């Protein structure tokens, strides 16, 4: 007599089982679990979860607040959200492209620091005209990030070095070398960070007057949108995109089929590194204006979970970046409005990232359950 799956397994299979849109269903299931876990946490603190999540959306500019300070509105809050989301989009795309070829790039934070530092000292302290300085910052980010990416890809292919180990070592090397130069040559004696870059090189316009409002306008957000669609086209519609995915699935079979695995790996890391470089300049010369010594940006590590939440696709990474940054930027308002400790508010975002990272486990578990049912 066949033993029917219990209620939990049936619900789990509906949410994560094989079939149409499995990847999307798994991502939505992870988001639901994170919201549920956050609700339990808020209930334990005696807070209303629905009101808390509403406050997060208000803080991020998705919903209107009850009142605003001078020259601020829901639009200014939303523009701030886009400003802080832009580096995450580039970082998540960097991780996603590398994962497509079977490479786990955890050097995004290090590349961000490196590209941000190089752009800062070459252009950030110069007196170049803004029309020249700003595009030059973007170009430097692409080149600097691409160089680190090529190095990782070359060491992976030529010497069969594990890219995770290489990335960890590069993160430390970049962090300490950049910190040395900041503390000895470019330190601000008051903030103990690097000297702020000039407005001519900033990729974000702060307090820009529009309709009697003070806006934050990220000049490279349109580039981020264009990059999302370019990466999607590149991965799904080009020959190299097919080869990249084939190498990720099985490098030995790809080599047997005539694909140049070494060239594919190095080129993939060139693209991944360039995207991380764009994340670096949009972070350190956009939403921020200086570099803190001996600190790797958490955004670079969070982007791994964000890319996984987006199923390593370009469009998915974009919406996952937006979702995570809504929580990250909205928790500050939620903390002040509902009298919740900032650490507790940040924990809700961490829970979302945690469930995002284990989406692969949910998918594998659902596939295993499906095979067991078929065998019976």
pLDDT digits (tens, 9 = 90+) for 93-102: 999 999 999 9
Give which of 249, 291, 247 is closest to 109, Cα–Cα: 291
Which whole-number Å values give the CA distances from 376 to 1, 13, 344, 366, in the listed order? 10, 16, 46, 16
| Intervals of the chain under pLDDT 70 | 1-5, 373-376
| Cα 13 to chain centroid, rounded | 29
Structure token pair of residue 20: 């149409």
Residue 205 pairs with which residues in a beta bridge? Answer: 217
Domains and CATH numbers, the chain: 70-330 (1.10.3470)
pTM of the model: 0.93
Give the Cα-Cα-Cα angle 339, 340, 345 (nearest 5 degrees): 145
- Residue 323: predicted pLDDT: 92
- Residue 58: predicted pLDDT: 92
- Residue 374: predicted pLDDT: 64
Cα separation, 144 vs 21, in Å, equals 37
- Residue 355: predicted pLDDT: 83
């Amino acid at each position: 007599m066949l033993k029917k799956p219990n209620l939990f397994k049936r619900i789990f299979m509906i949410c994560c089982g094989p079939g149409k849109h499995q990847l999307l269903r798994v991502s939505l299931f992870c988001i639901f679990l994170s919201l549920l876990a956050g609700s339990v946490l808020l209930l334990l603190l005696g807070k209303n979860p629905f009101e808390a999540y509403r406050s997060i959306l208000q803080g991020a500019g998705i919903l209107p607040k009850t009142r605003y300070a001078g020259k601020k509105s829901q639009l200014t809050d939303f523009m701030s959200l886009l400003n802080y989301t832009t580096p995450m989009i580039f970082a998540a795309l960097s991780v996603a492209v590398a994962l497509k070829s079977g490479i786990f790039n955890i050097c995004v934070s290090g590349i961000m620091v490196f590209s941000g530092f190089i752009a800062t000292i070459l252009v950030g302290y110069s007196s170049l005209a803004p029309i020249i300085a700003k595009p030059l910052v973007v170009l430097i980010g692409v080149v600097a990030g691409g160089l680190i990416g090529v190095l990782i890809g070359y060491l992976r292919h030529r010497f069969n070095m594990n890219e995770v180990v290489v990335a960890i070592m590069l993160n430390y090397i970049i962090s300490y070398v950049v910190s040395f130069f900041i503390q000895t040559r470019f330190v601000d004696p008051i903030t103990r960070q690097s000297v702020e870059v000039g407005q001519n090189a900033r990729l974000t316009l702060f307090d820009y007057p529009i309709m009697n409002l003070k806006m934050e306008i990220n000049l490279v957000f349109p580039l981020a949108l264009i990059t999302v669609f370019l990466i999607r086209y590149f991965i799904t519609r080009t020959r190299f995109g097919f080869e990249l995915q084939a190498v990720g699935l099985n490098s030995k079979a790809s080599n047997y089929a005539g694909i140049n695995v070494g060239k594919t790996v190095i080129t993939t890391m060139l693209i991944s590194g360039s995207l991380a470089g764009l994340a670096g300049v949009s972070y350190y010369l956009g939403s921020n204006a200086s570099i803190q010594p001996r600190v790797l940006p958490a955004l670079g590590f969070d982007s791994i979970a964000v890319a996984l939440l987006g199923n390593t696709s370009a469009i998915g990474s974009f919406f996952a970046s937006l979702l995570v940054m809504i929580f990250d930027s909205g928790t500050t308002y939620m903390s002040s409005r509902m009298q919740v400790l900032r650490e507790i508010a940040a924990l809700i975002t961490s829970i979302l990232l945690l469930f995002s990272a284990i989406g692969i486990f949910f998918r594998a578990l659902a596939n295993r359950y499906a095979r067991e049912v078929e065998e019976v």
